Each structure stands twice: as C-alpha cells, then as structure tokens.
Amino acid sequence: MENTSIATDHQQSTGSPRPHLQAIAEAGFTHVHWCHQWNTDFLYCTPEIDQIRAWLDGFGLEVTDIHASAGREKRWASLVEYERLAGVQLVANRMEMAADLGCDVIVLHVREEPEDEATRVTYWDCVRRSLDTLREVARTRGVRIALENGATSESWIPIARILTDYPPTFTGLCYDSGHGNISGDGLKQLEVHADRLLAVHLHDNDGTADQHKLPFSGTVDWDRLVELIARSSYDKWVNLEVSQRGSGYDDEEAFLSDAQAIARRLAQAVADAHGPGDEVIVS
C-alpha cells in the first residue's frame, strides 16, 4: 500500500487526538504529521508520549514528522534570554518526542529578521546560540530540524542563512505549499533549496490567505511543485497539512476519504515525475 500522511490537527490542534487518529487510520492513511500543540508552550511528558505511541500502534499508524512549537512565551529565537532558554527546552522536548515515536524530523518556524540593524545582530546571536544547543540534541537523538517557509518572501532570508551556516545532517527545509503560494516566490525558492528538502506541508489556497484547502482546489501550481519534489532530496511520502474547517465538509469521514484519494493522486504524480533512470538530488 502507498504510504500517505496527513496532519493530526485537521479539525483541532488541542485536546485529545485519539478520535482523529482513529478516523485517519480508517480513511487509509499510514502516517501522520503530528501537529497537535504546534503553536503552544505545551510540553509533552513521558505518560503522554507513551499513550500517543499506544494509540498509534493500535491504529497501525506511524509518524512522518512532528511540527515543533516556536512557542508563545517559550520562544527559541527570543531576544529575552529566559524566554529563549525556555524555548530551546520546548524545541528539545519535541525532538525527544520525535525520537521516542520513531521519526527523524521536526518542523520549526523561524521568525523573520528585525528591520533594525542593531536588533538584527542580537537576533542572529540568539538564533545561533539556540541552534548550537539544539544541534547536540539532534546528534544524540538522530532528529533533524526542517525550517518552514512563511507566507512572505522575507521568511526565506533566515532560512537561507541557516541552511548555509549549518549542515544537512542538522538542518533542512520544510516546504509549505500554501505559504509559498501566498508569497508568490515559493516554487522559485524551493528550486534553489531542493537539495535540502526534508519535509512537505501540502495544501492549497487562492493566493490571498492561508486556507489549508485540499490540493487542486486553489491556485498552487501542482505540476511544477510535483516536479520539484520529485527532483529534490525529499525521500518520504506525500503529507497533507489540510483543514476541515472552512472546507465545505461537515463530515470528517468524507473529508478524510477525499483527502486520501488526493494524497494517492499526488503520490502517483511524484512517482511518475521521477521517471525511469531519473536521479534524485541528495545532500
């Protein structure tokens, strides 16, 4: 069976994920992108991780990757030192969770550079000190950080710098197709960084807002995106980061059934784009 993945928060990102994991499995998905608590200061403790593992095993699901939290008060790139240190612990928590659940990538947002030059210098000092600490966690637990592009062209500036300063054994790119469609230059930037692609958030929109619609329902250039993914270093399966909210679907089962069909369609398109004898870009 073709591996396919979907975000756990297609209905909600807090509360118990159990019923949604069951629905995801029943729809035929083999993997999940763990997206619960993706933007909170929530720390996962051992009993919670153990229970999540039991649910995943019971439903026959595995984890593609984990959307780590950049935090609200625990912020790994904060200019306030205690917030930065707490944020590093928050990200390390997700890296430990990823290793415990058998996946090797966490996805992380990085804030845009400040406009003020002096503040920008401080910002980069904070970013580097945090990443240097997390690099040791990555080494010991075998988990890499994939930096996610935002919905602006400026979001690519820190990503490009970090990918230059840190090796592919530690950092890479998570390409978010919805964000790239809003910024307008996402596919161009993806082509530049295709050899560092570690994760994908595949969803659609009309170019004006982050709508997390099902692929092929908006204005994302899926033919071009599929071609770039096929030529990239990405070596996993299709992962949808879609939302039932605002989708027009009242029924979760129907939504997930159609999402699964679209995931398989995309998986086949990527396989076809590889073509016989094609070489995949590797870092």
* Domain ranges (residues) in the chain: 4-69+98-114+143-274
Tens digit of pLDDT per residue, the chain (283 long)?
A: 689 999 999 999 999 999 999 999 999 999 999 999 999 999 999 999 999 999 999 999 999 999 999 999 999 999 999 999 999 999 999 999 999 999 999 999 999 999 999 999 999 999 999 999 999 999 999 999 999 999 999 999 999 999 999 999 999 999 999 999 999 999 999 999 999 999 999 999 999 999 999 999 999 999 999 999 999 999 999 999 999 998 999 999 999 999 999 999 999 999 999 865 454 333 2
Predicted structure pTM score: 0.96
Tell the burial category of 173 from Cβ atoms under 10 Å away from its Cβ (0-12, 13-18, 19+).
buried
- Which residue in the block uniquely carries the two structure tokens 């619960």? 36
Distance CA 221, CA 42 (A): 35
Task: Note the pLDDT of residue 1.
Answer: 63
227 — phi, psi (to 5°)? Answer: -60, -45
Task: Note the pLDDT of residue 174.
Answer: 99
Any bridge partners for residue 238, and if so which?
4
Task: Note the pLDDT of residue 283.
Answer: 29
DSSP summary character for residue 35? -
User: Sheet holding 62-67: strands in order across?
Assistant: 197-201, 171-176, 144-148, 105-109, 62-67, 31-34, 4-7, 238-240
Task: Note the pLDDT of residue 274.
Answer: 86
Distance CA 113, CA 184 (A): 19
Task: Note the pLDDT of residue 276.
Answer: 56
Helix 252-274 to helix 222-231 angle, to the nearest 10 degrees? 60
Say which CATH topology domain 4-69+98-114+143-274 has. Answer: TIM Barrel (3.20.20)
